[in-house]
A and B are shown apart, each in its own frame.
Chain A
Amino acid sequence: MMQQTIVDYIKNEIHGGDPELEIEPEDDLLGSGLLGSMEMMRLVEHLETTYDFRVAPQDMAIENFMTVAAMAAYVERVKA
């Protein structure tokens, strides 16, 4: 559910609703060029606003943001 929300945001808000775009939960978002640094920051801000939390500086790390799966798991951990 959370994963789908993130995928939808990337598709609609960052890639203008591109119908051909397929994003797997384990895709390397930055390495594949799907997200640049600006877009990653936008996505992080969107998650913070939507789920009402702030990412601690030590959590701004690749383990938590490399893939859609990692991001969803991180947000769920923080909200728990």
Chain B
Amino acid sequence: MIHLLQHAVFAAAARYPRREAFVCGTERMTYAELSRKVRQLAQTLRAQGVEPGDRVGIYLNRCVETAVAIYGILHAGGVYVPLNPKAPATQNAYVIEDCGIDVLVSHPSQKRSLKALMGAGSRVQKIIGGAKTDGRVRVTGWETVFADTPEGIAPGRRVETDLAYIIYTSGSTGKPKGIMHSHASGLAFARNAAARYDLSFEDRFGNHAPIYFDISQLAYFAAPLVGGTAVIATDAETIFPASLGRLMERERITVWYSVPLALVQLLNSGTADTLVLDKVRYLFYAGEALAPKYARQLFPLFPGAQFGNWYGPAETNVCTCYDLPGPPEGEAPIPIGDVWQNTDRLIVGADDEKVSPGETGELLIRTTTQMLGYWNLPGRSAKAWFVRRVAGDLEQRFYRTGDLVREEENGCLHFLGRADHQVKIRGYRVELSAVERLLLASPAVREACALALSGGKDGALQLTALVILQAPGIMTEKELLAYLRDELPWYAVPETILFRGHFPRTATDKIDRSKLKSELVA
């Protein structure tokens, strides 16, 4: 019975020992090798004092060791906390302090930023795979870990609802929050995906996201569950789209899941039509909307693929999906579909009452893939839930997504934007995402971002749009504004349009709106 995440790896190793489990760059690891290394790492962690329930940080770039780290920590009974080596040292030090991490799993390639992290005064005492130069910290090399003969570990009495991992949000407002997930919620996601799309040991999962982003969990959790192969793009492959495309072709990827940005970069790389990508049978994306015009350009590149728009905040993982029937016509945004199996939903107004059919409301989700809560933030956690009394003291908890949706007659949901991306301009409600969508619909525009900033008379909120053009100068601000005036109510037309070469992005590849805002205000 698979009830803890690591059981999937051991089951796959028993059934398909010689099949490839994880591939990254030139490294290829079979299930037998993965199983062995997981047991070796777990043994090392235990020997170093890691006890069930302890939080262990993973401080790695994209590499096969991420799989060993995740499952090794889980097998030792620990809770893994993926850290971003490219984040500021102070941010990582905060996370380490917040959830009490004493041990990191890392690699000598990260020695430069590890040094900065230790310099920021973190409490870490032991590093597996650290470099020798880490002064006061006890370092155990990977060679030592893998030289050990794995003996059995006392499994302990772990239950599937136990904490398994904590994903920290990048937190656009205030400090990052640790989203707590259990073995049950991670496995539920893998099972939902595997069942709905009939995934099997023959599937080869293409992964683009880093492990601190839950988009990586299809490859990291579902691949072992079905005994398939997870192909992890290297950092370099995520930066050079031509190389990413060749990876997808060379590794005969059958299931791809990433942010839309990776696919759009592939389109813009100028190499996509030389690739043969007919083995891809599922192309899933999540995290941001994919503009209909880009979806239309992607369809011919993936002639064998079913496209799926997946939606879900990190607090619930994926909860709705929309299987695109074909290339979208027109510019209407692609819907987010409906909840998939084992998931319930409500659409409520400001008073938490159900809205009338077809009215806009906030989406509330109840599902087996939802978080346990926010680490060490009981007040914040309590606010995240809408609690519905069923009978007596039997309650149902729905997560408040903070996203606005509208339901069609057939139950299909349309995403209308974050509740907090609605702004009031001169007393009128404006959806920033609607302005962005319209800009994106223009063939001259590659990317667009709409922001509301105080600037007018009396510091009133004004709209500013930032645009990346397909080629410099192909459209002027005046021309774009004229185009917008044809389509938008007068109060929703931006005061100015600024042209940029690129947008700053967050660690999860979303447009970094707060950074853009602070650049403009300065």
Q: A-side interface residues toward B, CB under 8 Å?
A: 28, 30-34, 36-38, 40, 57-63, 65-66
Contacts and interface: CB of A to CB of B under 8 A. Distances in A.
Interface of B: 61-63, 85-86, 109-110, 112-113, 234-243, 246, 269-271, 274, 502
B270 A65 contact: no
Given A32-B109, A37-B239, A57-B270, 4 more contacts: A58-B270, A58-B274, A62-B240, A63-B243
A5 to B, nearest CB: 21
A61 B242 contact: yes
B242 A57 contact: yes
Name, among B235, B238, B271, B502, the residue most crowded by chain A CB atoms within 10 Å (CB to CB). Answer: B235
A60 to B, nearest CB: 5
Contact of A60 (B85, B109, B240): B240
A32 to B, nearest CB: 5
A31 B86 contact: no
A33 B271 contact: no
Contact of B112 (A33, A38, A61): A33
Contact of B109 (A31, A36, A61, A62): A31
Nearest to A64: B240
B242 A33 contact: no
Contacts of B241: 60
Contacts of A28: 109, 236
A32 B240 CA distance: 16
A20 B50 CA distance: 34
A40 B86 CA distance: 14
Contacts of B239: 30, 37, 40
Nearest to B114: A33
Given A31-B61, A31-B63, A62 B234 contact: yes
A28 B63 CA distance: 12
A76 B501 CA distance: 28
Contacts of B113: 33
A54 B246 CA distance: 21
A46 to B, nearest CB: 15
A70 B271 CA distance: 21
B421 to A, nearest CB: 25
A31 B240 contact: no
B236 A33 contact: no
B240 A33 contact: no
B29 to A, nearest CB: 17
B320 to A, nearest CB: 30
Nearest to B25: A31
B110 A32 contact: yes
A60 B62 contact: no
B23 to A, nearest CB: 15
Contacts of B63: 31
Contacts of B271: 57-58
A32 B243 contact: no
B236 A60 contact: no
A47 B94 CA distance: 38
Nearest to A36: B86
B236 A31 contact: yes
